[in-house]
Amino acid sequence: MDSKFWQQRWQEGRIGFHQPNVNPQLIKYISNLALSIGSQVLVPLCGKSVDMAWLAHEGYDVVGIELVETAVQAFFSEQNIIPTIAEFTSATDKSTLKRYQGQLADQTITLWAADIFSLNATDIGDIDAVYDRAALIALPADMRQKYSKQIRKLSHNASQLLMTLTYDQSKKAGPPFSISHKDIQQYYGTHYQIKELEGESSTLNAASEIAVTEHVWLLTK
């Protein structure tokens, strides 16, 4: 799953992962993060998720990171926000980082059009919590350890709401990938306490008969 894969998916409109409505599990479990108004929430691999607008309406600043710039532009356009755009050079790999920033419900939404691995904690500022929906599960196994390490570095091990799936991976190639409790222990177990908040049976998508369990995890230091 390299940059080309995702650029192509967005270009061709193959974005079945995008939900038109706010994720009900975010609404149900956000209080577990015990955030105060004005806290800053990191949304890695954010796409153009409407969950970010909901977070702003709840009183939180949002920092999203998304590889595909057209997805970032689509978010602001769909939310009727005219962003300010600034360009930086990554201190990590010298790539160009584009920062889109706008206001919604008196909160600041900052979306970085960048590879998550090109950013560092100084770029994005203090993070109070991480909301991972369809981010860890979008990455193949050989990238996940690196990703989890990067999330820890970017957020200084801030608490996380993490949504994952388990299903029979032999029935379908990912993404999304099936991730077990043991995998999550491996990625985050050394630095967080991991608690399952929900494990709900469903199918992989409306057109699919593949049985899937959707998990919601709370990771705390």
How many residues are given for the chain?
221
Q: Please answer whether residues 1 and 138 qualify as being in contact, where contact means their C-beta atoms are separated by less than 8 angstroms.
A: yes
Instruction: Count residues binding ligand SAM (CB under 6 A).
Output: 20
Which residue stretch of 67-75, 166-174, 177-185, 203-211 sits at the interface with ligand SAM (rule: CB under 6 A)?
Answer: 67-75
Q: Which of residues 118-147 bind ligand SAM (CB under 6 A)?
A: 133-135, 138
Q: Please answer whether residues 86 and 98 qualify as being in contact, where contact means their C-beta atoms are separated by less than 8 angstroms.
A: yes
Which residue stretch of 65-73, 87-95, 164-172, 197-205 sits at the interface with ligand SAM (rule: CB under 6 A)?
Answer: 65-73
The residue (of 11 and 185) whose beta carbon lies closer to ligand SAM is: 11
Token pair belonging to 104: 């919604």
Q: Does 69 bind ligand SAM (CB under 6 A)?
A: no
Q: Does 47 bind ligand SAM (CB under 6 A)?
A: yes
The residue (of 42 and 138) whose beta carbon lies closer to ligand SAM is: 138
Binding mask 84-103 for ligand SAM (x = CB under 6 A): --------------------
In angstroms, give the least distance from the CB of 128 to ligand SAM: 19
Q: Does 49 bind ligand SAM (CB under 6 A)?
A: yes
The residue (of 83 and 176) whose beta carbon lies closer to ligand SAM is: 176
Sites of contact with ligand SAM (CB under 6 A): 6, 17-18, 45-47, 49, 65-68, 71, 115-117, 133-135, 138, 175
